[in-house]
Chains A and B, each alone.
Chain A
């Protein structure tokens, strides 16, 4: 497969990626496993788990894993620019006309509603993450201290992540050491 062909496949994936990045797995399974047999379905699932465990945008990670697997570093870049191609121009075009419509009844109404839905989706994301985690004393402890740090001590997101992830790894490390000593 040529680099340009790879780019085009990812342009298509980006264009039909509606409702957030999570739908990228079924789309990729159809494009790469069913239509083309380039990557197996199981492999895609493994990459997806890995993409979720890395920092950054899950769909972007996933895109680059497959791009890299198929065509190396340039493949990863081609996939990356492919997948953001349509979304990028959609945003640029919509944003430039938004000001014209911002006082339009339909648009303000719709934006108000979608804003509320986004809040609901954020809360649902929390619930999803909450349910998928192993909720032990460690989980609740890290959650409570980082939430307090954000709300009361006004730490920035980065500060919170840096301080408490180091703390968390340290706790895990000490726990493991204690177990080994036993």
Chain B
């Protein structure tokens, strides 16, 4: 039964997430609230590891979430279910390539999905921030990272490495 639910939930993510790897986090967050397959803390670790291992973050997070939920079969199911909508859509779109991107309804839908994606991601940020809010160090590190990004655009890996190293140093210094 849990396998069917996994397929259903991750198929939905593949079909409805829009705007890059982190756009799947709102859905993973929702799953943790509804099914309690993993905790919010697990989710943070999952996304952290998904970000530093090779591969698309959204897919890696699905692999990890599936693994947490139902072992290796769960992770295989979650990963493939999340990619299945892409497979179907890509084949359809490849066949009608030109017409598709010029269609009025498709264009309007894409225009609408942009502000909705922004809202979804901010919603998740608020949720994650809540779990960090008592942690002054985290807030300072976050502010510093944002400030760096303001000065110059860096590779995502840059932030992950800098923050990870900072975390280790702070731990070792006992702060």
Which residue numbers of A lie inside 8 Å of B, CB to CB? 14-22, 24, 50, 53-61, 64-65, 68-69, 73, 76-77, 80, 83-84, 86-88, 90-92, 94-95, 98, 105-106, 108-126, 129-130, 132-134, 138-144, 146-147, 150-151, 156-158, 160-161, 164-165, 167-169, 172-173, 176
Question: A80 touches which one: B16, B18, B83, B101 (CB < 8 A)?
Answer: B83
Give the size of the chain B interface in residues (CB under 8 angstroms).
99
Contact between A157 and B26, CB atoms less than 8 A apart: yes
Contacts known (A113-B141, A169-B108, A172-B111); A126 close to B171, Cβ less than 8 A: no
Give 27 pairs: A residue, B residue, CB < 8 Å, sorted on A: A17-B56, A54-B93, A57-B14, A58-B56, A76-B90, A84-B83, A91-B63, A92-B75, A94-B49, A114-B164, A114-B167, A116-B142, A117-B145, A117-B162, A118-B51, A118-B128, A120-B146, A122-B121, A122-B128, A123-B125, A126-B118, A138-B111, A150-B123, A160-B120, A161-B18, A161-B116, A176-B104
For residue B6, give the distance in angstroms from its CB to the closest CB of chain A.
Answer: 15
Q: Which residue of A lies closest to B24 (CB)?
A: A57
- B124 located at the interface, meaning its Cβ lies under 8 Å from any Cβ of chain A in the complex: yes
CB neighbours of A129 from chain B (8 A):
19, 114, 117-118, 121
Q: Which residue of A lies closest to B44 (CB)?
A: A115
Interface of A: prevailing SS: helix
Q: A160–B5 Cα gap in the complex (Å)?
A: 21
CB neighbours of B146 from chain A (8 A):
120, 123-124
Contact between A124 and B64, CB atoms less than 8 A apart: no
Question: A130 touches which one: B20, B52, B79, B118 (CB < 8 A)?
Answer: B118
- B134 located at the interface, meaning its Cβ lies under 8 Å from any Cβ of chain A in the complex: no
CB neighbours of B101 from chain A (8 A):
50, 53
Contact between B56 and A133, CB atoms less than 8 A apart: no
Contact between A98 and B45, CB atoms less than 8 A apart: yes
Q: Which residue of A lies closest to B171 (CB)?
A: A109
Number of interchain pairs (Cβ within 8 Å)? 334
CB neighbours of B52 from chain A (8 A):
114
Q: Mark each residue of chain B from 70 to 97: 1 if its CB lies under 8 Å from any CB of chain A, else 0.
A: 0010011001001101110111011001
- B25 located at the interface, meaning its Cβ lies under 8 Å from any Cβ of chain A in the complex: yes
Contact between B163 and A87, CB atoms less than 8 A apart: no
Contact between B167 and A57, CB atoms less than 8 A apart: no
Contact between B91 and A119, CB atoms less than 8 A apart: no
CB neighbours of A144 from chain B (8 A):
119
Contact between A150 and B48, CB atoms less than 8 A apart: no
Kindly identify, within residues 125 to 175 of chain B, every residue whose CB is under 8 Å from any CB belonging to chain A.
125-126, 128-129, 132, 138, 141-142, 145-146, 149, 155-157, 159-160, 162-172
CB neighbours of B169 from chain A (8 A):
109
For residue A110, give the distance in angstroms from its CB to the closest CB of chain B.
Answer: 4
Contact between A94 and B126, CB atoms less than 8 A apart: no
Contacts known (A56-B15, A76-B90, A111-B48); A21 close to B172, Cβ less than 8 A: no
Question: B93 touches which one: A22, A50, A119 (CB < 8 A)?
Answer: A50
For residue B2, give the distance in angstroms from its CB to the closest CB of chain A.
Answer: 17
For residue A77, give the distance in angstroms from its CB to the closest CB of chain B.
Answer: 7
- B109 located at the interface, meaning its Cβ lies under 8 Å from any Cβ of chain A in the complex: yes
CB neighbours of B44 from chain A (8 A):
111, 115, 118
Contacts known (A21-B57, A54-B93, A91-B60); A122 close to B124, Cβ less than 8 A: yes
